[in-house]
Chains A and B, each alone.
Chain A
């Protein structure tokens, strides 16, 4: 198990290097002069040249890359062109917020979605099943940002129970979490349902029943345990994507998180920030994937460690 962990960790390195290379190339290839952007409109040619030297843009490309990678290794991602603060600092300020949102949303989604999916799978084609299936379909078809806005209209404008945006108290967390969770609940419910149905049609379930076990035991001990494995993967991946993909929700609720950071820096052409935040996000996502793989290997005895 330990060796497997090490091996998986090592296999992520090429992907990380690949991403950083890709980013490096992409951003250098962008139209526009980074030095100009950094210097601002009012700068004189000498200032721009100074910044260019500072950024190392006058060096040959492979030297630039080497410098880039060496700074990357110590997580020095440069400074934001917008705020002049170190990129890492800005990210570090926002990451916990995104983390909070993602965690509460995933938890809510699992608490609602998994039981719903199980019930739907155990009683297929009944009213309960149609209810769950319909709600899930609605959930994945609804634009998240629209749902957020509608919730704001109802709960903030009309009922005035909850704030429309920002961060601070637990009240601020409710609406963004519900909005974000809507898609995930639907997705998880669907996956749970199909995974359970797949498992329930397996031969070993018939065997379990033929031993005279109570249906409850068959469902929980035999079926659910097997069905949860692919669901773990899905939940993990959803969590990973929520870390950076909550862009739209964060925008609607003015939530200071990673997603908004990425979008704002894209709109402002803040290249160091774009680069840094996408890189960090990539790192986190790969990390989450890795953890999911490890959990998977731990839970499923069929995984061979070679």
Chain B
């Protein structure tokens, strides 16, 4: 599927050298984002999904972080660009929104100022025009009284409004790819739905692609066209969204989906407790031998503890990292 892909990540490895050892946060990840599509990237906290996204724009401070691999975008490997070249991409062709709207905006600059900054930089407009553009974006993200809001400081806005402002900021220069790192996790549930609808609408309007990173499966079901599941720094499964939910192939994905509480399920299957995946995520310094999930896997086999499983394609559109499908 590499022909028409907008972003293509191949064998991405990110590690940190710390006193206690070498921490490999991302260990050989492949994924692709097509044009105009939303790719969901799912996994527990600490599985490497945020690090993956930050590596695309090279936002990880480089002395502690070492990055290797290929991040192909518009025919260029982003990892090999100079500092100046990657700066042109940031906020221009690829932009990012973050989890915590409370802390992701500079408290000393007005909203309008922070949005105009990017516009002045990437679109070469002067300050007046950029400000006007910023106000336009604020109304597009459905913030009431955008002219007044633009002149305010972040602390005056609620969490939901701040996240809208961040979206306005990220989309102000019409990027082709938006990296959304847990965009709704820090928000109230009711606001979450609004923000997701907004993102969908804007994506369609702007013909952009979204890499949606989250641990919230409900969000994935609503928004994503395809899903990539990560565990302990590796991709363990990829599938179109309906297929994944209907028939998860990897035991980890099965566990994830099984652990979502569903109203009425107790009576359907006679279960009294919430289902969970036994065990805990392995420490980054002590990864299990063989398949990283095998100590927690209900369908573990002998070979799982000895050798790492290969990535297996199941049909044209699905792949899974598991000995069960070999």
Contact = CB atoms under 8 A, between A and B. Distances in A.
A206 B59 contact: yes
Interface in A188-232: 202-204, 206-215, 221-222, 225-226
Contacts of B155: 301-302
Interface in B40-64: 57, 59
A202 B108 CA distance: 13
Contacts of B57: 210
A204 B106 contact: yes
A202 B107 CA distance: 11
Nearest to B60: A206
Range class of the B interface residue count: 20 to 34
A133 B98 CA distance: 34
A212 to B, nearest CB: 4
A47 interface: no
Given A301-B155, A302-B153, A211 B106 contact: no
Contacts of B103: 202-204
Contacts of B117: 211, 213
A208 B57 CA distance: 12
Interface string B94-123: 011010100111111100000001100110
Contact of B59 (A204, A209, A226, A301): A209
A20 to B, nearest CB: 39
A214 B84 CA distance: 8
Contacts of B118: 211-213
A300 B88 CA distance: 31
A21 to B, nearest CB: 40
A214 B117 CA distance: 11
Interface residues of A, number: 20
A45 B57 CA distance: 89
A211 B153 contact: no
A203 B103 CA distance: 6
Q: Mostly helix, strand, loop or mixed at chain A's interface?
A: helix
Select the residue from A203, A221, A226 with max chain B CB neighbours within 10 A.
A203
A208 B87 CA distance: 11
B91 interface: yes
A227 to B, nearest CB: 10
Contacts of A203: 98, 100, 103-104
A206 B169 CA distance: 14
B202 interface: no
B90 A211 contact: yes
B183 interface: no
A212 B172 CA distance: 13
Interface string B119-144: 00110000000000000000000000
Contacts of B88: 212
B166 to A, nearest CB: 8
Interface in B251-271: none
B107 A210 contact: no
B90 A210 contact: yes
Contacts of A208: 106
B98 A226 contact: no
Given A204-B106, A301-B108, A302-B107, A212 B98 contact: no
B161 to A, nearest CB: 16
Interface string A263-306: 00000000000000000000000000000000000001110000
Contacts of B34: none
Nearest to A214: B87
B89 interface: yes
A301 B107 contact: yes
A204 B100 CA distance: 10
A222 B105 CA distance: 10
A212 B89 contact: yes
A296 B166 CA distance: 27
Nearest to B122: A212
B168 to A, nearest CB: 12
Contacts of A211: 90-91, 95, 117-118, 121, 169
A127 to B, nearest CB: 14
Contacts of A204: 103-107
B248 interface: no
Interface string B68-94: 000000000000000100011111100
A302 B108 CA distance: 8
Given A206-B59, A213-B121, 4 more contacts: A204-B103, A206-B98, A212-B88, A212-B121
6 contacts: A204-B103, A210-B95, A213-B117, A213-B118, A226-B106, A300-B108
Interface of A: 202-204, 206-215, 221-222, 225-226, 300-302
8 smallest A-B Cβ distances: which pairs? A212-B90, A211-B91, A212-B91, A203-B103, A211-B118, A204-B106, A301-B153, A210-B96
Interface of B: 57, 59, 83, 87-92, 95-96, 98, 100, 103-109, 117-118, 121-122, 153, 155, 166, 169
